[in-house]
Structure 1
Amino acid sequence: MSDWQRLDPRVLLIGPVEAARQLVVPAVIAMVGIGSQQPRALLLLTPLFVIGAVVLGVIPWLTTRFRIEDERLLVHTGLLNRKQLTAPIERVRSVDLEATVLHRLLSLRKVLVGTGVDDGRIELDSLSVAQAQDLRERLLGSRPAAVPATAEDGLDASSVGLHESTALPAAPAPVVLARLDPRWARFAPFSLARLAVVAGLVGAIWQFDLPVEETGQDVWNWAVQASIWLVGIGLALGLISLWCVGSALSYLVSWWDLRLAREHGNLTLTRGLFTTTSTTVEEDRIRGVELQEPVLLRMVRGAELKSLVTGLDEGVYPVLPQCPVAFARDVGSQVLDDGGAGLSAPLAQHGRFARRRGHVRAQWMTTGWLLPLAVAGVLVDVIGAGWAVVAVLAGAGLGVLVGEMSYAHLGHALTGTHLVVGRGALTRIRTVLARRGVIGWTMRQSLFQRRHDLVTLTATTAAGNEFVALRDVDRAIAVALIREVSPTLGRWDLAAAVSSRR
């Protein structure tokens, strides 16, 4: 790929469509504004809109060139403002292949190259399927590099016995770690992250011109005559049904044909019904996994799995959507290649003082804001004193429950290759971070932690959110963890360093 290449000529069909989609809103506004004053102007604006979309769609094909030269990806693009992008292959962190419905009909792919910088990813839209696959393989180095000896090396093929029976071994076949089970859609309603999707669906339906004006009065008269409790129950059941159906459909659309595979030292995740996405990252850049179990998902024994990757813009690589927790742990163990030690290791708890601090924090989150509101409500005669007491007691009870959950989830463990940290209150989170992924440590003591010689220990890493925090751990245990995970820090008197700050 040393010669300059262009985008696939079929981009001339996609480009105008994409440009028209971006121009349609301002074009409609202009047509409505001008057309109301001068209707004849619409005859001129319509062809201008079409011509503009075609011109904007053709420009990328005329101006975009790319090639791989001297272990670098070179991309030149732009008409008036020319851009010359250079990305060393060794800095490439991920290569995503995306395809909308139109891309798939034309057998094209959009290539997104992630280099770990904040400016985003290098985009090449659109390449043929063969071009995109070849570019991904070259950028991620997934092609075998072995080359048989030849006469140029002072040997010929016969002298080294290179023939059909001694040919170089073929690359191993991909190992599929996970595929989508459509039955997993039952977990979707227990994820509040999809509430926005259902809300958008309700908003879209509301925009339709439904014949409610004629029947609205009749419905209102029936609602007044019927029991208010019956109406409330029916409305609640309708909303719950809409939530379940909408979230399940959104889940299937997003994760349809999910395939997680290990091939050539990379992990490749492919998913999507209408817009397909194929994300590939090098396994060498994976520093751990994170298993999340929100409180609603725990009720049905579900979980989500993510991996922590260095160099990605967001730092987190989705591995599995909401699925059975046992399956998520099994796939996570395969990604970590640790025999399941990290995700199943028992966590060492942090003692009664850490438990007490968890309860205090929980009470601040519940009763701490509810008590002033209740007092203010009584003073302005919005609620009665009895209801105010009930609300405060309910908040205190919720705080006790949240405090117990936060302590039950808090803990740590060490395996031969990983640091395991448990945390979270309503969402139980277990982070398994490779020891080699820890690049620094921070110990902090608040005024209240000093009373019981506790610290918040933070492991700094280049993956995920760039840190993993272990709260309310005994200072001596924190020092021992640092020395165990990072032996090179053993020459520093960490205990004395913390004591000097007390």
Structure 2
Amino acid sequence: MIPEPGEGFVRLSPLKLLLDPVKAVAQFVVPLVIALVGISRSDTKFWPIIFPLVVLGPLVLGALPWLTTHYRLTGTQIQVRSGILNKKTSTAPLDRVRSVDLEASLLHRILGLQKVQIGTGVDDDRITLDALAAADAQALRTTLLTRRAVAEQQAAPAAVGQNDDLSFDQPDQPIAPPPPPAAPAVPLANIDWSWLRFAPFSLGRLVLLFGGLGVLSQFADDLPIWNEETATSAWQWLTQFAVAAIVLVLSVSALALWLVVSVAGYVLQWWGFRLVREHGSLHLTSGLVTTRSISVEEAKVRGVEMTEPVLLRLVGGAELSTLATGVEDGVTQVLPPCPRGVAVAVGEAVLERPGPLTGRLVEHGPKARRRAWFRQLRNALDVIVLLAVAWWWFDLTWWWLAVIGAALLALGAAAGEASYRHLGHDLAGDHLVAGGGTFARIRTVLETDGIIGWVVSQSWWQRRVGLVDLTATTAAGTERVLVRDVRLDVAVALADRATPGLLTDFVDRV
């Protein structure tokens, strides 16, 4: 059970005594194997001393966190104490709690535990309780989010009273009534397994696949089947067939492997996905092996970002993230790859305003198009020059370089045109909308109230054609929203309309 306000400090779940030793052994498994191998080759007279230390050491170290970690709730804050020699007390005022995230690995779930991470929005540090019983973790999350609302409501009249003229004989301010019961959770999105069709078109898991191939390559030389004789015989067997057939088989095999990896990764990450609005926060739950429960306070959400990677866009898919202050990394993906209509609907529900994700953007004109083409073709030429040096150094056939160079220039031209077509901006009421991206089409929507400043930058090439980059600085998301290659007068007018009065002196000089 979670402690009631005013009660003393309590420990975490006793099952943590099983969790941490297993985690400690997993972390020390490689050093343990190396140590045991070394010991086995040395004098065995030290075994009675070394073996207990090697085996029991991680178990003891794993049990210490449960013995030294305590927490409690008061009427205004949550406190966590930890440490043996260096005592540490972490405190978070309830009205500063911005997120309460729950996570459970497979081992957590077997033991019926969850890890609680409490964010205050001040910095990246979080108060972590690992581990609580699943029911206690859910109750603590609900309690913290509910009491945050109570604390904020009670703080409001106090702040008003401090701004008034006070006298000693002034009657006490009335105490704010308790808030009404929390409204039921409002569902925004749930997993639809027809969305699995988008998994192969989202290339984010290629990193995992390449990582696995990299790990395999580290051990390839040690495999008994990997030697010169085996490789030669395998190549002779393959060359008996047509080259086209070999390419076809390899392509189909690679495609089948990618389908398995992408679909399996999608299922593992987004199993049981549910996005709801409750307690003034957006609450996301998902995960098959490791479950996640993430809360983002809506008052801190300053906008959304819809991304349509090139392959995903071909099948009508998109991804959606929120831009918020006080959360880790500032960008939280709240939807898996899904139909674009779903991403638009959920984005508009978060913004509580229709239109910014679908409205037509203001085009930046032919000068911006030339800049987009020039930028991409310059990158292609840089690669061609590097390839030419390599071709000259290794004395290779030059017609291959000509073919590759023509392909790179064509790709650069396509990338330049795509980059321009994604470019644009708009001011939809109290939201700044910026379009960008090269092959992936990205539309970023930011509340104008979340803009804390503007940066107008201009390179030498941009000065020659009268264009600038306009950056809206913010505390949310990646802390910047870029409107690229726009005319100076248009940029200044856009910034002045979004934040009236902030650029008055600059507008008068333009």
How has the CA–CA distance of structure 1 residues 40 and 338 changed in structure 2, closer, same or farther, with 3 Å as cutoff? Answer: farther
- Match among 468, 471, 496 for residue 458 of structure 1: 471
Residues 99 and 379 (structure 1), Cα distance of their counterparts in 2 relative to 1, 3 Å cut = closer
CA contact (8 A) 2:190 2:274 kept: yes
Letter paired with 1:257: G
What aligned pairs does 1:38-77 form with structure 2 within 5 A after superposition? 38-39=43-44, 41-42=46-47, 44-69=49-74, 71-77=76-82
Secondary structure class of the residue paired with 2:239: helix
Q: Could you say if the C-alpha distance between residues 45 and 250 of structure 1 is closer, same or farther in structure 2, counting changes exceeding 3 Å? A: farther
Is 1:397 matched with 2:407? no
Q: Match for 1:83 among 64, 69, 88?
A: 88
Mapped contact 2:102–2:294 kept (Cα < 8 A):
yes
Corresponding residue for 2:453? 440
In structure 1, the partner of 2:241 is: 226
Is it true that 1:421 corresponds to 2:434 in the alignment?
A: yes
The correspondence of residues 244-393 of structure 1 with structure 2, limited to 5 A, is 244-339=259-354, 341-371=355-385, 373-374=387-388, 377=391, 381-384=395-398, 386-393=399-406
CA distance in 2, matches of 1:168, 1:428: 43
* Aligned partner (choices 3, 6, 15) of residue 2 of structure 1: 6
Give the alignment partner of residue 29 of structure 1, picking from 30, 34, 37: 34
1:307 aligned counterpart, secondary structure: strand
Q: CA deviation at 1:376?
A: 5.8
Change beyond 3 A, Cα 1:23–1:373: closer
* 1:176 partner amino acid: P
Instruction: Give the aligned CA root-mean-square deviation in angstroms.
Output: 2.7
Query: Which of 201, 209, 219 is the aligned partner of 1:198?
Result: 209
TM-fit CA distance, 1:452: 2.9
Q: Which amino acid aligns with 1:60?
A: P
| Pair 1:245–1:143, CA change in 2 (3 A) | same
Partners of 1:371 and 1:274 in 2: CA distance: 48
Pair 1:491-2:504 in alignment: yes
Q: Secondary structure at the match of 1:136?
A: helix
Q: Secondary structure at the match of 2:121?
A: coil
Q: What is the distance in 2 between the residues matched to 1:314 and 1:351?
A: 34
Which amino acid is the alignment partner of residue 264 of structure 2? Answer: L
Secondary structure of the residue that 1:342 maps to in structure 2? Answer: coil
Give the TM-score taking structure 1 as reference length: 0.88
**How far apart, CA to CA, are the structure 2 residues paired with 1:201 and 1:372?**
29
The count of corresponding residues between Structure 1 and Structure 2 is 476
Q: Go from structure 1 to structure 2 and tell me whether the alpha carbon gap of 1:294 and 1:13 turns closer, same or farther (over 3 Å shift).
A: same
The counterpart of 1:173, out of the listed 181, 184, 190, is 184
Contact 2:380 2:408 in 1 (8 A): yes
The whole-number CA distance in structure 1 between the counterparts of 2:390 and 2:72 is 68
Show the 5 A alignment for 1:122-133: 122-133=127-138
Q: Is the 8 A contact 2:95 2:149 kept in 1?
A: no
1:144, 1:171 within 8 Å by CA — same for their partners in 2? no
Determine the C-alpha separation between the residues in 2 that align with 1:202 and 1:380: 28
Distance 1:118 1:382 in 2: 54
The change in CA–CA distance for 1:107 and 1:24 in structure 2 (over 3 A counts) is same
Alpha-carbon distance in 1 for matches of 2:179, 2:390: 80
2:24 equivalent in structure 1: 19
> Which stretches in structure 2 are left out of the alignment for 5+ residues?
155-177
Which structure 1 segments of 5+ residues have no match? 148-166
C-alpha distance in 1, partners of 2:207/2:435? Answer: 29
Tell me the SS of whatever aligns to 1:382: coil
**Which segment is superposed worse, 482-491 or 421-430?**
482-491
**Does the CA-based 8 Å contact 1:374-1:392 persist in structure 2?**
no
In structure 1, the partner of 2:98 is: 93
TM-score (norm 2): 0.86
Task: Sort the Cα spacing of 1:369 and 1:224 in 2 relative to 1 into closer, same or farther, 3 A.
Answer: closer
Cα pair 2:123 2:326 within 8 Å, conserved: no
Q: Report deviation, 1:387.
A: 3.4
Structure 2 vs 1, CA of residues 138 and 222 (structure 1 numbering), >3 Å: closer, same or farther? same
